[in-house]
Copies of this chain bind each other. A is one copy, B any other.
Amino acid sequence: MSKQKTVGLPVLEPDDAVVPCCPPLTAAELSAEDAERMAAMFKALSDPVRLRLFSKVASHPGGEACVCDIADVGVSQPTVSHHLKKLREAGLLTSERRGTWVYYAVAPSVVAAMSATLDLRTAT
């Protein structure tokens, strides 16, 4: 819980992350743990500012963008950084520092999992 000040940016290891959690909601009742995990992902997108930030990253060529390119969403930069951190912690974005700038990119597998979870195709 306490990432002190040792590393600049952990970037969230792919195998330690949030990935495998998403049976379709129609398949069976979610367990309490799965519900907790899924809710955290939806919560990450439950804020307009975060949604716009995510959209800006996702719609950028290559699915990645510099903070400086997306920071204009009507709130202060500390707030932007705060929201990007939330998206990172939810596993929806990854970050990478390249010289002066930090680039954020979508984590396709996690987003695809969310989409699949909402897939209602079950009975035909």
Contacts and interface: CB of A to CB of B under 8 A. Distances in A.
A113 B94 CA distance: 25
B48 A45 contact: no
A32 B48 CA distance: 7
The binding surface of chain A is classed by DSSP as helix
Given A39-B47, A43-B46, A52-B30, A59 B25 contact: yes
Interface in A70-124: 74, 106, 108, 111-112, 114-116, 118-120, 123
Interface of A: 25-30, 32, 35-36, 38-39, 42-43, 45-52, 54-56, 58-59, 61-63, 74, 106, 108, 111-112, 114-116, 118-120, 123
